[in-house]
Structures are given as C-alpha cells and as structure tokens.
Amino acid sequence: MIFYSANKKSYYHFDWETYKNTYPILSYQGYSTKDEFWWHYIHIGELQGYLYFDINKINNVYKYDNDLTNKTIIQPEVNVNTNINTNINKTIIQPEVTICPRKTIYYYVDFVTKHTNRTGIQVVTIYLAKQFLKCQEEFYIDIIFVKWNNKLLCLEPCNSDDIYYLFNYNETDDLVNEITYDNYSPIQNNFSRPLSNCIFFCPELTFPIYNDLPEKLKKYLSINNLKSIFILYDIIPLILPDYNCIREPFKLYMLHNLLHANKIITISNFTKIEFIKYCQQNNLYSFNFPIVENISLPHQYRNKLKELSTIHENKDENENEQQFSNKITILVPGTVEPRKQQLKLVKIFNSFLQNNSSVDVEMIIFGNVLAVLEEEINNEIEKSNGKIKYLGIINNEKLAELYGKSTFSCFISQYEGFGFPIAESLWHGIPVLTSNFGSMLEISNCGGCYSINSHSDIEIYDALENLIKKPKIIQKLRSEINKNKFITWYDYCKSIYVEILKEFN
C-alpha cells in the first residue's frame, strides 16, 4: 500500500478533483474516486509528468492553455502552521487505496494471421494494432489479440505464432517482439478479466474464414453480454453489381454483427452517410440502431516518416510547348479491377502517347490484377511500346523507391470507402490525380490533389495532359502537400481509444 508518491507527494493533500478536471481522459478510462486518481498518479502520472495539485494551496492560480502539456502555474507562498505536531513517532493510519482495474480490449484478428494478403483492411488491422500496443499504458488498457475457435464456438487468445505473423510477415523494420499470455482459455472463462470490464473490437471482416461466423459471433457476444465495436470500411458489396459473389456473406455480417454492435466506427464520413442511408432505405434503421462515429483513416504510410515534396521552379513561360529534359513518371497503385478504372486510364494514356510521341513519360502499375482484366491490361501494355510497365506486387522498400522517382500518381476509382492510395501518395509527397466525388473528394480536400470527374474520358485525358505538360500545376500541388499536417497512426489510435473508452462508462 503506497501512501506517498515516489517524490514524497502526499495522498492527504492531493487535490483529486483538479487532477480529474485537468486530465478528462482519465474519467473515460473509468477513474472516478480520489483513491483511483491517486493510484493513477503514483503509478503512471508522476512518471509521465502529470501535475500534482496540493489541496492546501487554496490560493493557487492555475492558468492553462489548450494544450494540457503546456501549463503556467503560479503558486503563491503558503503559510505553514507552526503548531502542527511534528512528532516523528506519531502513528498515521493510511487509507486503503482501491486500484482501478485495467480495462481490456479483445482485438479480433483472424484472416490477417493466416493469409499473405495485405489489402487496405489488413493494413489498418496491422498498423492500428501496433499503435494500440504502443499506447496501452497511456490509456491504461490491456490489448489481447483474439481469434474464433470454431470447435468450441468461442473467442480465445491468439497464440504467439499468430501474433508474430500478424505483425512481422513481409515487414523489414519496426518488428514486434514475441507476445504471450498467461491464460489461453476461452475469454469467458478468464475470471481475472470479467467481461463486464472488456470490449470486443473488430477491425476485420468476420466472414472470410467461416461463412457462418457472423451469426455465431452475434450469439456469443449476446450470451456473454460482451460489448462490441466494429470498424466499417465500406458497403461496396451491397451496392455494386461486380461484388455479387460476396453480397450475401456481407449482408449477414451487417445484419448479425454491425447492427448488433454497440458502436460502429467508419473510415470516412462518406462511408458513414452511405451506411446510414442504406439502412434507412432498407428498413434497418430502428430505435436501437448502433452509434455510428466517423474517424477518418490516417495518411501515414505504415510506420514511415512524412516525405517532403521537392519543388522545382519552372521559369519557362511557354509551358504548353515545353520540351521536357526529365522523364515524367506516373504511378498507378492499387488492385487492378473494374471499379478502380485502371483499364480506362491506360487506354486514355495510350491515346495521349499517340498524340504526344516526343514527351518522355512512363506509367508504372503495381498491385494485383483481377483475372477478368488481365488480358486487356496486357494488350494495352504491349501497345505502349514500353511506356507502360506492370511490376506486380511490390514490397515497402520498392514502393518508397518508386514514389521517390515519380511525378504524380493516379487513382480515379468510381467508388471507395476511403482511398488509401491517395493518402499513401500524399504522405510520400506526391500529387494525385483523383476523382472529385465520394470519399476521394473528402480526402483530397486537404490539398495536393488534382480532382476531376473520372466518369468522363475527356476530363481524364485533359488532366493527364495538364499534369504532364504543365509543371507549374505539379509545383502548386507539391507546395500544398508541404503545408499540410497529415493524420498519423498515433492520431488515429488516440481517437479510436476515446470512442472505445466511452463504452466502458
């Protein structure tokens, strides 16, 4: 039992109400009494530089700015009562300190621990998990990675091999050390972590491994009265005909998991609006509809530091007639599929090449290619006489190298839940040609993007011509990128933690 802090601060003189008001995040974490706030101060706060407030200094004036880490404290002299008994042999009865139990987030990972795919959903699952681990002490939370046991019909902690694969497959830096747990029994049987003090957090889809998991999971969460929060990326399978093959599994996932969740976190405001609209139109919006909050995904690419965009001044006023001495390199990221319109883009680019044979320009495509488009894409690559290159799936190092040499990137999808390639390009300091609607408009509003109506072949052609032939446009976009403060994984994690902690109250 600790009565004094490491620096001899006193429990008796601890102004816990001022401490509570100064650090409101602690209330979200479940601290509510003087004993609990004192426990936080002596175990966490004092080590992290939190302020100690002395209740005896009743004339103190505390001046705060908006940043709680920067405070000016004016502490007037305190008159000491010389009549106080200072007998060192006096027995002091120390009050019992009730330790505030740590909250637990059961972080669901399954598909990402078994497959090599690193789609946008998998990237979010991995890098949000990394940041969750880094911030768990700051928010006084335990993170336990769990998977579904289809034989026992329950959630259980992942083994160390699962977790190692989750974090370290195809990664060359920022590796995560082995993580093990004291208890690998089904989580409902772990009595040291009562489920009333836990939340199930799902950043993945629940149906790729077991098609019937959404319904089983709903029953499991309900029987154990375990609160749940899901990340919703998009509702593409419900509205686009090209995704009919997964429409029914996705619909069951929505009906059994999303609509029974305590909270849904969308990755863009566009996705939030689309989801609510769909539910309203299909009579799924009821009085017990889950809370839906938007927290937009970060711009940060993996764990990399932000790149500055190099700006070259162009003093040639006759831009339209300029002959380029440097090669123009255009990157086309993302899985090649009908929705993302890469095939349309390369066809228009080939038309541009026919009309501008003297321009030194190349287009580099990377990522998976759906079988339905493979033949047509290969035909267009052959027509380009080496101007269009397809690199397949590339690693992080090769990607950084490509961005370092590129002029701009293209991402003219018809529909996205967010648009990771846009954020990725901006983080690397590279302007983006993108669509001027949906979530792509939302993310491009931060600057650095050349937005067009990508349903129009003419607008796509004109945009390519402008970005290739008019360097001042690229200069302007790069300048916008350099002025921006982009969202990091830490920012994203912190915002999600706050939403999760609200559900513990």
Is 79 within the bounds of a domain?
A: no
Q: What is the domain count for the chain?
A: 3
Q: Is there a single domain that holds both residue 336 and residue 459?
A: yes
Question: Is there a single domain that holds both residue 178 and residue 275?
Answer: yes
**4, part of any domain:** no
Say which CATH number the domain at 197 has.
3.40.50
pLDDT digits (tens, 9 = 90+) for 471-494: 999 999 999 999 888 899 999 999
Q: How far apart are CA 354 and CA 316, in angstroms?
A: 25
Cα angle for residues 130, 132, 137 (degrees, 5° grid): 120
Distances (CA, A) of 6 to 137, 138, 208, 230: 19, 19, 51, 40
Structure tokens at 286: 């009821």
Local structure of residue 486 (DSSP, 8 states): P
161 domain-assigned: yes
Say how far apart CA 328 and CA 170 lie, in whole Å: 30
> Which tens digits make up the pLDDT trace of 200-237?
999 999 999 899 999 999 999 999 999 999 999 999 99
Same domain, 254 and 367: no
Classify 473 as helix, strand or coil.
helix
Q: pTM, whole model, 2 decimals?
A: 0.77
**pLDDT top residue among 115 and 181:** 181
Any idea which of 125-129, 453-457, 483-487, 490-494 has the lowest mean pLDDT? 483-487
Q: For residue 148, what is the enclosing H or E element?
A: strand 141-149
Do residues 386 and 362 share a domain?
yes
Proportion of the chain above pLDDT 90, given as a percent: 60
Which pLDDT does position 450 carry in this prediction? 97
Give the whole-angstrom CA distance, residue 421 versus residue 114: 24
Q: Which of 57, 74, 91 is the last residue of a domain?
A: 74
Determine, yes or no, domain membership for 94. no
Please report whether residue 3 resides in a domain. Answer: no
Does the pLDDT at position 20 exceed 70? yes
Q: Which pLDDT value is given to residue 321?
A: 41
Task: Please check whether residues 65 and 124 belong to one and the same domain.
Answer: no
Q: 268 and 174 share a domain?
A: yes
In a domain, 307, yes or no: no
Instruction: Round the average pLDDT of the chain to a whole number and report it.
Output: 85
Is residue 230 domain-resident?
yes
**Whether residues 252 and 162 fall in one domain:** yes
Q: Residue 423 sits in which domain range? A: 319-483
Helix (H) or strand (E) holding 291: strand 291-294
> Is 5 contained in some domain?
no
Confidence of residue 28 (pLDDT cuts 50, 70, 90): low
Query: Quick check: 386 pLDDT over 60?
Result: yes
pLDDT-derived band at 77, boundaries 50, 70, 90? very low
